[in-house]
Amino acid sequence: MKQIIVGNWKMNGLSAEADALVAGLATELATLPTRADVVVCPPFTQLARLGPAVKKAGMALGAQDCHQDKAGAHTGDISAPMLVDLGVEYVILGHSERRGEHHELDETVREKAVAAMAAGLTPIVCVGENADQRASGESEETVGWQIQGSLPQGFRGIVAYEPVWAIGSGTAASQQDIADMAAFIREELVRQFGDAGKTIRILYGGSVNERNVTDILPVEHVDGALVGNASLKAETFVPLVRAARPS
């Protein structure tokens, strides 16, 4: 299966910076004869203006969230059909920063995933444990409940494992930790969705960078990476794409 590298820009990127980053990515990616799938997820403010350049460079456009309703009285929110209208193909849902800062529940994430799929988007649903849950031996229990609660029946998307304790730390989970959790997630997906669970892509996200990516991407059941800080510069993001399995 072709791997996928997803860049989550988070709340970063004014127009000049965003233009320069996409231009840099386009130049660098053009030198790769074969590569994995690449998705960039800028902030909402940059989606419309960056879309044409992103697609011209052979990348896909993603968003960082969507509302569960198609339209309505939801000031400050963006619906899945609005994203599709801008040429968006993927949407990140249930990121730990959304779950933590905006108090999103598994139920909310599941409703958003349903809305995303109905609109034609591919949801990237994030799951992961925090430092306290890890220390108390509750990692698998936590992730298992999140998978059950956040993924709807008929799920057609991607699952991203992001150990909350590793995000922004500069230190990824160990190769063994990633292997164990990826295998557990695969088992849970197969248990919940049967044979369809065997083909759902699983990403690792948590301080992925050019120094550790060659240890992460070969891990069994890891089908790519969800990248934060390293996706904000072409010189740190492109090496991750180069390290990915193209087929």
- Going 80 to 148 to 179 to 129, the CA torsion angle's sign is positive
CATH number at residue 59: 3.20.20.70
pTM: 0.96
Give residue-wise pLDDT tens across range 162-173. 998 887 776 778
| Predicted pLDDT of residue 142 | 95
**Residue ranges in the chain modelled with pLDDT below 50:** none
| Predicted pLDDT of residue 172 | 73
Active site residues: 95, 162
Q: Is 10 annotated as a binding residue?
A: yes
Q: Is 56 annotated as a binding residue?
A: no
Name the residue range of residue 146's domain. 4-243
| Predicted pLDDT of residue 173 | 84
- What is the radius of gyration, based on Cα positions, of the chain? 17
pLDDT above 90 covers a percentage of the chain that reads 90
In the chain, how many domains are there? 1
Q: Is 145 annotated as a binding residue?
A: no
Contact 46, 58 (CB under 8 A): no
